[in-house]
Protein backbone atom coordinates (compact mmCIF):
# COMPACT_ATOMS: atom_id res chain seq x y z
CA UNK A 1 0.00 0.00 0.00
CA UNK A 2 1.42 3.36 -1.06
CA UNK A 3 1.23 6.01 1.68
CA UNK A 4 2.40 9.58 2.06
CA UNK A 5 2.78 11.52 5.32
CA UNK A 6 2.20 15.29 5.38
CA UNK A 7 3.58 16.97 8.49
CA UNK A 8 2.94 20.48 9.78
CA UNK A 9 5.87 21.19 12.10
CA UNK A 10 4.13 24.28 13.51
CA UNK A 11 1.12 22.36 14.81
CA UNK A 12 0.61 21.58 18.43
CA UNK A 13 1.48 23.02 21.77
CA UNK A 14 5.12 24.07 22.25
CA UNK A 15 6.21 22.59 18.94
CA UNK A 16 4.91 19.12 19.68
CA UNK A 17 5.06 17.97 16.06
CA UNK A 18 8.62 19.20 15.62
CA UNK A 19 9.62 17.17 18.69
CA UNK A 20 7.90 14.12 17.18
CA UNK A 21 9.81 14.35 13.91
CA UNK A 22 12.53 11.81 14.90
CA UNK A 23 9.80 9.35 15.94
CA UNK A 24 7.97 9.89 12.65
CA UNK A 25 11.14 9.36 10.61
CA UNK A 26 11.98 6.21 12.56
CA UNK A 27 8.45 4.86 12.04
CA UNK A 28 8.59 5.56 8.31
CA UNK A 29 12.01 3.89 7.97
CA UNK A 30 10.88 0.78 9.86
CA UNK A 31 7.85 0.48 7.57
CA UNK A 32 9.94 0.94 4.44
CA UNK A 33 8.41 4.38 3.83
CA UNK A 34 11.52 6.49 4.24
CA UNK A 35 10.82 8.75 1.28
CA UNK A 36 7.15 9.24 2.06
CA UNK A 37 7.42 11.96 4.72
CA UNK A 38 6.89 15.58 3.59
CA UNK A 39 6.77 18.76 5.70
CA UNK A 40 4.70 21.84 4.91
CA UNK A 41 6.28 25.22 4.25
CA UNK A 42 3.30 27.56 4.64
CA UNK A 43 -0.45 28.05 4.17
CA UNK A 44 -1.88 25.96 1.34
CA UNK A 45 1.22 23.81 0.96
CA UNK A 46 -0.44 20.75 2.55
CA UNK A 47 -3.07 20.81 -0.21
CA UNK A 48 -0.35 20.92 -2.88
CA UNK A 49 1.48 18.02 -1.24
CA UNK A 50 -1.73 15.99 -0.98
CA UNK A 51 -2.54 16.59 -4.65
CA UNK A 52 0.94 15.41 -5.54
CA UNK A 53 0.36 12.29 -3.43
CA UNK A 54 -2.85 11.56 -5.34
CA UNK A 55 -1.04 12.02 -8.66
CA UNK A 56 1.70 9.68 -7.44
CA UNK A 57 -0.83 6.91 -6.90
CA UNK A 58 -0.96 6.92 -3.10
CA UNK A 59 -3.83 5.00 -1.54
CA UNK A 60 -3.70 6.90 1.76
CA UNK A 61 -2.47 10.33 2.81
CA UNK A 62 -1.69 10.86 6.48
CA UNK A 63 -2.24 14.35 7.93
CA UNK A 64 0.04 14.97 10.93
CA UNK A 65 -1.02 18.20 12.60
CA UNK A 66 -4.22 19.91 13.69
CA UNK A 67 -7.59 20.70 12.15
CA UNK A 68 -6.10 23.30 9.80
CA UNK A 69 -3.65 20.77 8.37
CA UNK A 70 -6.43 18.19 8.15
CA UNK A 71 -8.57 20.66 6.20
CA UNK A 72 -5.82 21.43 3.68
CA UNK A 73 -5.00 17.76 3.09
CA UNK A 74 -8.66 16.73 2.86
CA UNK A 75 -9.37 19.39 0.23
CA UNK A 76 -7.20 17.44 -2.20
CA UNK A 77 -8.96 14.14 -1.45
CA UNK A 78 -12.66 15.09 -1.58
CA UNK A 79 -14.60 13.10 -4.13
CA UNK A 80 -11.75 10.69 -4.85
CA UNK A 81 -10.72 7.16 -3.86
CA UNK A 82 -7.69 8.14 -1.75
CA UNK A 83 -8.32 7.86 2.00
CA UNK A 84 -7.35 10.43 4.63
CA UNK A 85 -5.68 9.23 7.82
CA UNK A 86 -5.12 11.44 10.86
CA UNK A 87 -2.44 11.77 13.53
CA UNK A 88 -3.75 14.36 15.95
CA UNK A 89 -1.14 16.85 17.06
CA UNK A 90 -2.94 20.19 16.98
CA UNK A 91 -4.67 22.37 19.54
CA UNK A 92 -8.26 21.14 19.17
CA UNK A 93 -8.27 18.06 16.92
CA UNK A 94 -12.06 18.15 16.69
CA UNK A 95 -12.55 15.73 13.80
CA UNK A 96 -9.97 13.19 14.94
CA UNK A 97 -11.45 13.17 18.45
CA UNK A 98 -14.93 12.69 17.03
CA UNK A 99 -13.69 9.75 14.95
CA UNK A 100 -11.93 8.18 17.94
CA UNK A 101 -8.43 8.38 16.44
CA UNK A 102 -5.93 7.26 19.13
CA UNK A 103 -4.23 10.05 21.06
CA UNK A 104 -0.90 8.18 20.94
CA UNK A 105 1.01 9.16 17.76
CA UNK A 106 2.37 5.64 17.35
CA UNK A 107 -1.07 4.08 17.73
CA UNK A 108 -2.50 6.57 15.23
CA UNK A 109 0.34 5.83 12.79
CA UNK A 110 -0.25 2.08 13.15
CA UNK A 111 -3.94 2.63 12.38
CA UNK A 112 -3.12 4.81 9.38
CA UNK A 113 -0.70 2.29 7.86
CA UNK A 114 -2.56 -0.93 8.56
CA UNK A 115 -4.07 -2.23 5.30
CA UNK A 116 -6.81 -3.89 7.34
CA UNK A 117 -7.94 -0.64 8.98
CA UNK A 118 -11.53 0.36 8.30
CA UNK A 119 -12.27 3.18 5.84
CA UNK A 120 -15.59 5.05 5.93
CA UNK A 121 -17.07 7.86 3.83
CA UNK A 122 -17.94 11.05 5.72
CA UNK A 123 -19.70 14.23 4.67
CA UNK A 124 -18.09 17.51 3.66
CA UNK A 125 -19.52 20.95 4.32
CA UNK A 126 -18.97 24.00 2.12
CA UNK A 127 -19.32 27.68 3.03
CA UNK A 128 -19.49 29.80 -0.13
CA UNK A 129 -17.54 26.98 -1.72
CA UNK A 130 -14.88 26.75 1.01
CA UNK A 131 -14.75 23.16 2.30
CA UNK A 132 -14.88 22.25 5.98
CA UNK A 133 -14.90 18.82 7.53
CA UNK A 134 -15.35 19.50 11.24
CA UNK A 135 -16.99 22.90 11.76
CA UNK A 136 -17.28 26.46 10.47
CA UNK A 137 -18.48 29.58 12.20
CA UNK A 138 -19.20 33.30 12.10
CA UNK A 139 -19.33 36.08 14.67
CA UNK A 140 -17.61 35.58 18.00
CA UNK A 141 -16.50 32.13 16.88
CA UNK A 142 -14.49 33.53 13.96
CA UNK A 143 -13.08 36.50 15.91
CA UNK A 144 -11.68 34.15 18.54
CA UNK A 145 -10.23 31.98 15.78
CA UNK A 146 -8.47 34.97 14.23
CA UNK A 147 -6.98 36.16 17.53
CA UNK A 148 -5.98 32.63 18.52
CA UNK A 149 -4.16 32.16 15.21
CA UNK A 150 -1.96 35.13 16.17
CA UNK A 151 -1.18 33.72 19.61
CA UNK A 152 2.15 31.85 19.74
CA UNK A 153 0.79 29.74 22.59
CA UNK A 154 -1.29 26.67 21.74
CA UNK A 155 -3.59 24.39 23.72
CA UNK A 156 -6.86 24.66 25.63
CA UNK A 157 -5.59 27.15 28.23
CA UNK A 158 -4.38 29.58 25.55
CA UNK A 159 -7.67 29.23 23.68
CA UNK A 160 -9.70 29.85 26.85
CA UNK A 161 -7.65 32.98 27.54
CA UNK A 162 -8.39 34.27 24.04
CA UNK A 163 -12.12 33.62 24.55
CA UNK A 164 -12.17 35.60 27.81
CA UNK A 165 -10.28 38.57 26.37
CA UNK A 166 -12.49 38.77 23.28
CA UNK A 167 -15.75 38.30 25.15
CA UNK A 168 -15.24 41.41 27.27
CA UNK A 169 -15.64 43.75 24.30
CA UNK A 170 -17.68 41.71 21.85
CA UNK A 171 -21.19 42.72 20.78
CA UNK A 172 -23.77 40.38 19.33
CA UNK A 173 -24.79 40.73 15.69
CA UNK A 174 -28.05 40.41 13.78
CA UNK A 175 -28.39 37.49 11.41
CA UNK A 176 -30.98 36.16 9.01
CA UNK A 177 -30.88 32.37 8.85
CA UNK A 178 -32.78 30.62 6.07
CA UNK A 179 -33.36 26.89 6.30
CA UNK A 180 -36.17 24.58 5.25
CA UNK A 181 -38.76 26.48 7.29
CA UNK A 182 -37.93 29.88 5.77
CA UNK A 183 -35.96 32.92 7.00
CA UNK A 184 -35.61 33.79 10.67
CA UNK A 185 -34.00 36.96 12.06
CA UNK A 186 -32.07 36.57 15.29
CA UNK A 187 -29.55 38.33 17.50
CA UNK A 188 -26.63 36.05 18.24
CA UNK A 189 -23.07 36.03 19.50
CA UNK A 190 -22.17 33.38 16.98
CA UNK A 191 -23.55 31.10 14.33
CA UNK A 192 -21.70 27.81 13.96
CA UNK A 193 -22.31 24.97 11.52
CA UNK A 194 -20.95 21.59 12.58
CA UNK A 195 -20.29 18.37 10.75
CA UNK A 196 -18.96 16.58 13.83
CA UNK A 197 -20.25 17.27 17.31
CA UNK A 198 -17.26 19.13 18.73
CA UNK A 199 -14.87 22.01 18.16
CA UNK A 200 -12.07 20.05 19.80
CA UNK A 201 -10.78 19.15 23.26
CA UNK A 202 -14.17 17.58 23.97
CA UNK A 203 -16.11 20.87 23.64
CA UNK A 204 -19.35 19.71 21.99
CA UNK A 205 -21.03 22.58 20.14
CA UNK A 206 -23.54 20.26 18.40
CA UNK A 207 -24.24 17.19 20.56
CA UNK A 208 -25.54 14.32 18.48
CA UNK A 209 -24.10 15.58 15.20
CA UNK A 210 -22.82 12.85 12.89
CA UNK A 211 -20.31 13.11 10.08
CA UNK A 212 -22.11 10.56 7.93
CA UNK A 213 -25.82 11.47 8.05
CA UNK A 214 -25.93 13.77 5.03
CA UNK A 215 -26.83 16.71 7.30
CA UNK A 216 -25.16 19.65 9.01
CA UNK A 217 -26.01 21.10 12.43
CA UNK A 218 -26.46 24.88 12.73
CA UNK A 219 -26.09 26.28 16.25
CA UNK A 220 -26.78 29.90 17.21
CA UNK A 221 -26.02 31.36 20.63
CA UNK A 222 -28.05 34.32 21.92
CA UNK A 223 -26.33 37.20 23.77
CA UNK A 224 -25.39 36.31 27.36
CA UNK A 225 -23.32 37.89 30.12
CA UNK A 226 -20.16 36.51 31.73
CA UNK A 227 -22.06 34.16 34.02
CA UNK A 228 -24.20 32.88 31.15
CA UNK A 229 -21.13 32.40 28.99
CA UNK A 230 -19.43 30.40 31.76
CA UNK A 231 -22.49 28.17 32.05
CA UNK A 232 -22.54 27.64 28.28
CA UNK A 233 -18.84 26.77 28.35
CA UNK A 234 -19.47 24.15 31.02
CA UNK A 235 -22.41 22.80 29.05
CA UNK A 236 -20.20 22.32 25.99
CA UNK A 237 -17.85 20.06 27.92
CA UNK A 238 -20.80 18.23 29.50
CA UNK A 239 -22.41 17.72 26.08
CA UNK A 240 -25.60 19.57 27.05
CA UNK A 241 -25.30 22.94 25.32
CA UNK A 242 -28.30 22.10 23.13
CA UNK A 243 -30.48 22.10 26.27
CA UNK A 244 -29.74 25.74 27.05
CA UNK A 245 -32.55 28.26 26.44
CA UNK A 246 -29.92 30.56 24.89
CA UNK A 247 -29.06 28.09 22.14
CA UNK A 248 -30.94 27.24 18.94
CA UNK A 249 -30.07 24.00 17.15
CA UNK A 250 -31.21 23.28 13.57
CA UNK A 251 -30.32 20.37 11.34
CA UNK A 252 -30.41 20.41 7.56
CA UNK A 253 -28.60 19.89 4.28
CA UNK A 254 -28.36 23.59 3.40
CA UNK A 255 -28.48 26.99 5.13
CA UNK A 256 -28.17 30.59 4.05
CA UNK A 257 -26.80 32.93 6.72
CA UNK A 258 -26.94 36.67 6.03
CA UNK A 259 -25.43 39.53 8.05
CA UNK A 260 -25.38 43.31 7.52
CA UNK A 261 -21.87 43.42 6.02
CA UNK A 262 -19.00 41.20 4.88
CA UNK A 263 -16.84 39.77 7.64
CA UNK A 264 -14.85 36.86 8.93
CA UNK A 265 -15.75 33.21 8.85
CA UNK A 266 -13.64 30.27 9.94
CA UNK A 267 -13.48 26.83 8.36
CA UNK A 268 -11.96 24.23 10.69
CA UNK A 269 -10.37 27.07 12.65
CA UNK A 270 -8.78 28.85 9.67
CA UNK A 271 -10.13 32.39 9.15
CA UNK A 272 -11.15 34.05 5.89
CA UNK A 273 -12.80 37.29 4.84
CA UNK A 274 -16.16 36.43 3.31
CA UNK A 275 -19.26 38.07 1.84
CA UNK A 276 -22.24 39.21 3.92
CA UNK A 277 -24.27 36.22 2.69
CA UNK A 278 -22.83 32.77 3.34
CA UNK A 279 -24.35 29.75 1.63
CA UNK A 280 -23.61 26.53 3.51
CA UNK A 281 -24.23 23.09 2.04
CA UNK A 282 -23.39 19.47 2.71
CA UNK A 283 -21.77 17.12 0.20
CA UNK A 284 -22.71 13.67 1.52
CA UNK A 285 -20.25 10.77 1.75
CA UNK A 286 -17.57 12.70 -0.12
CA UNK A 287 -14.39 12.00 1.86
CA UNK A 288 -12.90 8.60 2.67
CA UNK A 289 -11.30 8.45 6.12
CA UNK A 290 -9.38 5.75 8.00
CA UNK A 291 -11.10 5.10 11.35
CA UNK A 292 -10.81 2.69 14.28
CA UNK A 293 -13.04 -0.36 14.17
CA UNK A 294 -14.95 0.95 17.20
CA UNK A 295 -16.12 4.01 15.23
CA UNK A 296 -17.04 1.97 12.17
CA UNK A 297 -19.03 -0.51 14.28
CA UNK A 298 -20.85 2.29 16.15
CA UNK A 299 -21.66 3.91 12.79
CA UNK A 300 -23.14 0.67 11.51
CA UNK A 301 -25.15 0.25 14.72
CA UNK A 302 -26.55 3.80 14.41
CA UNK A 303 -27.55 3.14 10.80
CA UNK A 304 -29.47 0.01 11.83
CA UNK A 305 -31.15 1.86 14.70
CA UNK A 306 -32.19 4.66 12.36
CA UNK A 307 -33.72 2.10 9.96
CA UNK A 308 -35.66 -0.49 11.99
CA UNK A 309 -36.38 -2.46 8.82
CA UNK A 310 -32.64 -3.08 8.44
CA UNK A 311 -32.52 -4.97 11.73
CA UNK A 312 -34.83 -7.57 10.28
CA UNK A 313 -33.48 -7.43 6.76
CA UNK A 314 -32.18 -10.50 5.04
CA UNK A 315 -33.80 -13.85 4.65
CA UNK A 316 -33.26 -17.43 3.81
CA UNK A 317 -31.47 -16.33 0.65
Angle at alpha carbon of residue 126, lines to 121 and 95, rounded to 5°: 50
Cα separations in angstroms, 54 against 49, 128, 265: 9, 25, 29
According to DSSP, residue 82 is labeled P
Cα separations in angstroms, 104 against 87, 93, 97: 8, 13, 12
Which H or E run contains 91? none
Of 185, 193, 240, 181, nearest in space to 218 by CA = 193
Euclidean distance between CA atoms 147 and 124, whole angstroms? 26
**29 given a catalytic annotation:** no
Euclidean distance between CA atoms 268 and 271, whole angstroms? 9
Which residue in the list 143, 197, 270, 274 is annotated as catalytic? 270
Q: Are 114 and 121 in contact, with CB atoms under 8 Å apart? A: no
Euclidean distance between CA atoms 192 and 260, whole angstroms? 17
Cα separations in angstroms, 307 against 190, 304, 311: 34, 5, 7
Residues marked active site are found at 270
Amino acid sequence: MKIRFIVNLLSGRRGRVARLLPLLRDFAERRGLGGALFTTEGPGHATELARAAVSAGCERVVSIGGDGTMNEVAQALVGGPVALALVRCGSGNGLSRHLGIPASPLAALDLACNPASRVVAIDTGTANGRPFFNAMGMGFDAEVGRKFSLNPRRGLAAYAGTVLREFAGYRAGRWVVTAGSGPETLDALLVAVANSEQYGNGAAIAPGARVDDGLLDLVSVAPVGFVGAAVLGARMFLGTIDRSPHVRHRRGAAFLVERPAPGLIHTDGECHDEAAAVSIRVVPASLRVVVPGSFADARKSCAVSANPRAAGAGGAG
